[in-house]
Amino acid sequence: MKVSENTSVAMPIKNMIGIVVAVAMGIFAYTELTSRLTSLETSRELFSSDLLKKSEQVPTDQEQFMLLEHMASQIEELENEMQGMRNNTVNLNRAMEDIKNIEINIENMKDKIRNNGSHP
């Protein structure tokens, strides 16, 4: 059998259309697959580079974090002290009321003593 550019091949048109459709579907599937792989690889590279950038801290950032932690601890101490002062204010107000009551009682006792001294 001799094959040349003039050799003819007899094939039903139905089979030829099927082959063309199968090849077209194969090419489409291949391009979609490579596109998806490229997209996933790009996403992975961007994600890993973002992680590397976030893990690198400049010394000024570290200093700022240390200052923030120090200031937070000072604020906590001040809050605790203020709560203690609130309790002191309540206690002082109560003590002032008690002192006023004691002064009134002392004046009443003085009046009674004076009245007892004037009645022989």
The confidence score (pLDDT) of residue 118 equals: 63
Residues 13-25 pLDDT 10s? 898 899 999 999 9
pLDDT, greater one: 54 or 102: 102
* CA 75 vs CA 28, 65, 69, 70, 79: distances in Å: 64, 15, 10, 9, 6
pTM: 0.37
The Cα 20–Cα 28 span in angstroms is: 12
Find where tokens 């000072």 sit: 74
The Cα 91–Cα 97 span in angstroms is: 10
